[in-house]
Structure 1
Amino acid sequence: MTEKECGHQHDEEPNNPLRRLIAALIGFVILILFIILLIWLILRPTKPHFILQDATVYAFNTSAPFNFLTTNIQITIASRNPNGRIGIYYDKLDIYATYRGQQVTLPTLLPQTYQGHKDVSIWSPFVYGNNVPIAPYLGSAISQDLMVGTVLLNVKIDGRVKWKVGSFISGKYHLYVNCPAYVGVGGKMMGNSVVVGKSSAIKYQLVQNCHVDV
């Protein structure tokens, strides 16, 4: 055997097992990813459906000169998992209310929930904010809405979901829910303020479908 052949053989022998191991690992990873993709395409997960069922208004008051808003509303919202083979984990869901694009309540954290196949979950949280400053341009708008007696609020949920297929649990996906709701807040003027229902709460049946993005 010539010196050139010996050197060539000496260079290849240590590298062949390493290359085979790397190729095997790459092939294994590709196979696992392909299986996951195939399962995903077969099952075709569908985003959950949300319905805003009702809202009970305990307070929706402005203070002079309509630059501060106090809100206390109990929301009943239902979620349904439409998937027959996929479960849903709801993780760190915050619910809050906005008025004409401005958030007017603090976020309320909903409990972590697992939703099985075709299951329905119902939450009844309070969303509230005390003397929340509102943008000056909203002052006249909110005063007019309050005098008319109806306010358009958007109840929103912001959080994360995970999909469960058998024993496999996916990574976290962003969940965004928007539920428009016309809420009656008929009040009366007291000085420079509009005051709503101090003595009793007012409950409104809404049954409003929500827009969901995942």
Structure 2
Amino acid sequence: MSSSKDSCGDHGRRCERRRWWRRCIGYTLLFLFLVLLAIFITWLVLRPTKPRFYLRHATVNQFNYSGPPSNLLSTVFQVTVSSRNPNDRIGVHYDRLEAYASYRYQQITLRARLTPLYQGHNDVVLWSPVLFGPAIPIAPYLCDAIKGDVASGFLQLSVRLEGRIRWSVGSWDSGRYRLFVDCPAFLTFQNGVSTAEGAIVQFQQPSRCSVEV
């Protein structure tokens, strides 16, 4: 009889331990669910809107194309890009941001690293990088397009920015999100003529950029 009672006691203790573990797991899952639900509700209430970018100014100080057979393009660009945070309660951390120029989907300058910064509610920030393209090889299929644009004195480029951003609400910061900005620039060579030394081209009409986050 004593052995039977001990067996029943051991079984009861095992059942109690199982119930205790089930309660712990249940409370933990409930706590995680409530935390995630609170974050989700906060996100819906705040409704973060991606920042708005504009190309404010662009100056092309050098645009020299060597032509076949080397097909090398040397460029120097001075650009000014602005960003506005349209959110009333959410700040934006720009952890990493790089700018470069593109011609018909080919990168024609090196990447310029922009200063990391925090953008407060409804704040506007400016970057004015100089973009260098020292003897960049151009794809053969672009040769005729470049020669035609140089001859006509009209040039269409894209100023692009890529990086990582975080949303900030009070002391809480989100994870990092990839940022991609594409700013079209429609440029006209000075007096409609380009020279072997490179014409000075200016673009002064603000252009709205497309933004992906």
TM-score exceeds 0.5: yes
* Mapped contact 2:187–2:202 kept (Cα < 8 A): no
1:174-202 CA-partner distances (Å, limit 9, x unpaired)? 1110011112235445xxxx4323xxx44
How far, CA to CA, are the matches of 2:188 and 2:163 in structure 1?
28
Partner residue in 2 for 1:89: 93
Residue 116, structure 1, aligned to residue 115, structure 2: no
* Mapped contact 2:67–2:143 kept (Cα < 8 A): no
Aligned equivalent of 1:60, options 60, 63, 73 = 63
How far, CA to CA, are the matches of 1:113 and 1:26 in structure 2?
37
Deviation at 1:24, TM superposition (A): 1.7
Partner residue in 1 for 2:203: 204
* Mapped contact 2:57–2:79 kept (Cα < 8 A): yes
Partner residue in 2 for 1:29: 32
* Mapped contact 2:102–2:158 kept (Cα < 8 A): yes
How far, CA to CA, are the matches of 2:87 and 2:164 in structure 1?
18
How far, CA to CA, are the matches of 1:86 and 1:98 in structure 2?
31
The number of equivalent residue pairs is 207
Deviation at 1:64, TM superposition (A): 3.0
Gap regions ≥5 residues in structure 2: none
- Tell me, what secondary structure is at the counterpart of 2:164? strand
Higher normalized strand content (fraction of residues): 1
Deviation at 1:123, TM superposition (A): 0.5
Task: Give the counterpart letter for 2:42 in structure 1.
Answer: I
Task: Give the counterpart letter for 2:108 in structure 1.
Answer: V
Task: Give the counterpart letter for 2:57 in structure 1.
Answer: D
- Tell me, what secondary structure is at the counterpart of 2:113? strand
Task: Give the counterpart letter for 1:54 in structure 2.
Answer: H
Report the TM-score, using the length of structure 2 for normalisation.
0.91
Q: 1:188 to 1:46 in 2, by over 3 A?
A: closer
How far, CA to CA, are the matches of 1:183 and 1:130 in structure 2?
20
Partner residue in 2 for 1:167: 171
* Mapped contact 1:81–1:117 kept (Cα < 8 A): yes
Deviates more, 1:61-70 or 1:76-85: 61-70
- Tell me, what secondary structure is at the counterpart of 1:19? helix
Partner residue in 2 for 1:50: 53
- Tell me, what secondary structure is at the counterpart of 1:13? helix
Task: Give the counterpart letter for 2:179 in structure 1.
Answer: L
Task: Give the counterpart letter for 2:32 in structure 1.
Answer: V
How far, CA to CA, are the matches of 2:118 and 2:48 in structure 1?
15
Deviation at 1:57, TM superposition (A): 1.3
How far, CA to CA, are the matches of 1:36 and 1:188 in structure 2?
56
Task: Give the counterpart letter for 1:212 in structure 2.
Answer: V
Residue 128, structure 1, aligned to residue 127, structure 2: no
1:126-164 CA-partner distances (Å, limit 9, x unpaired)? 111111000011111101101111111011111111000
Deviates more, 1:201-210 or 1:102-111: 201-210
Residue 70, structure 1, aligned to residue 69, structure 2: no
How far, CA to CA, are the matches of 1:148 and 1:11 in structure 2?
87
Partner residue in 2 for 1:11: 14
Higher normalized helix content (fraction of residues): 2
1:64-110 CA-partner distances (Å, limit 9, x unpaired)? 32711011001000000000000000111111111011010111111
Report sequence identity in percent.
Answer: 45
